[in-house]
Structure 1
Amino acid sequence: MLRTLPHGASELADYFNHGSALNELEILGAVVAKLLIKGEQVNHHTLIARLSHLLADETDAVKVDVCRCVLELVIQKTPVES
């Protein structure tokens, strides 16, 4: 099923579709997949919460850096729902 992105999310999608590091895309994809599997909504708040938990639990310095980059992008590029 093809879904359109919510208004404002296109900048985030553009970033990941044009030249971003594969690791960032893999992390975001894994977070979104886990949310969908659990039946949770994929939105600004749930993405930030999951990425924050992932960042807090990670011990590998490289993965922490990649996770931090993804979290920053989500915070900067997704609209806050009211």
Structure 2
Amino acid sequence: MTPGQNHSYYLIQKQRIVELAWPPPPKSAEVSFKGRVLRLLHGGPRPGSPEQCVDPGDFESAVNVLDQQDIEAAISAFTRLGYQVTVRTLR
């Protein structure tokens, strides 16, 4: 699994949903029309996106911690990677 903007994991044994959200990048100076067109033509991940900022191996390690049903350790691991973590109860 690769880092992305949003992820949801259902932990049936613990009756919890762990949701990850990548925070939006800080507002920077206005990008010109030409700059936006060049970015569209160039392609690739946006600057400040998890695809650029998060190492896939570290992300996979955090997912493995979550697979072990250790919610507290997983929250800590994903927070260190830069994600905002929300835990909800299954109903």
Task: Note whether the superposition's TM-score is higher than 0.5.
Answer: no
TM-score scaled by length of structure 1: 0.24
The structure that has the greater radius of gyration is 2
TM-score scaled by length of structure 2: 0.22
As a proportion of its length, which structure holds more strand? 2
As a proportion of its length, which structure holds more helix? 1
